[in-house]
Amino acid sequence: MQVWRITASEICCSACIFFSINRNKEKLNWLTSKPLFGKSIVVTRDVDSNADFAARIISKGGNPIEFTTIKIKPLTQTNKFLKTLTKIAEYDWIIFTSANSVNIFFDVLQRLNKDARVFASAKIAAIGSETAAKLSKFAIIADFVPSAFTSKELGKQLINFANLQGRKVLLLRSQLASSEMSKLLENAAAKVDNVPVYTIATVKSKCSPLLEKIKEGKIDWR
């Protein structure tokens, strides 16, 4: 009768292979259980926003395809912005209408060796949770965030939240934003200053690779 002899090193090696296979299987199961697993999604924002959004897609198991269509251009060298910056402590409310406005405004403060103390006693409002999260990175907790993240709702809900009669309100916004919120606040007797901190320009990107993927049916969402 033939006797098979297995050495300790062979047992150890087999165990390593077994555990390695199981660990890889667990990783695969973890990945395939994610809601966007196997989905290719085109993101069409500016470079920075694309990177942030792509990271969120990856965390959900998806495959982001970044296709830049716009560029954020700061307007912080305009006379209007620079003049506003010198008197910013005079405002009762300062409203950030996007995460871009937060990034650009605080970039200017840092270059001037200033920080959030320039706001003095002003209250801070953010248009949504993403904008509020950006503010928190600069140690600012928004005093007000509406339940619905639109300019109209921010205006309507802020009027109900605070007495704005005679109050000085600063809107730090995109040059292309509508005047709807401004009109709502002015109708509530607030003294509103609209100050664009950035504008949006289109960017020409090479479309051929993306079009090929679309034609081949390799894009799930865009």
Domain boundaries, the chain: 40-69+203-222, 72-202
Please report the beta strands in the chain, taking only residues with DSSP state E, as ranges in sequence order: 40-43, 63-66, 70-74, 93-96, 123-126, 168-174, 191-202
Identify the pLDDT of residue 52: 76
Identify the pLDDT of residue 156: 96
Kindly state the tokens that stand for 26. 């667990």
Identify the pLDDT of residue 6: 41
Among 162, 119, 121, 134, smallest CA distance to 49 is for: 134
pLDDT digit string (tens) for 137-179? 999 999 999 999 999 999 999 999 999 999 999 999 999 988 9
pTM for the full model? 0.72
Identify the pLDDT of residue 34: 79
CATH (one of 3.40.1010.10, 3.40.50.80, 3.40.50.10090, 3.40.50.720) for 72-202: 3.40.50.10090
Identify the pLDDT of residue 129: 95
Neighbours of 13 (CB within 10 A): 11
User: Low-confidence residues of the chain, pLDDT below 70?
Assistant: 1-31, 206, 208, 210-213, 215-216, 218-219, 221-222
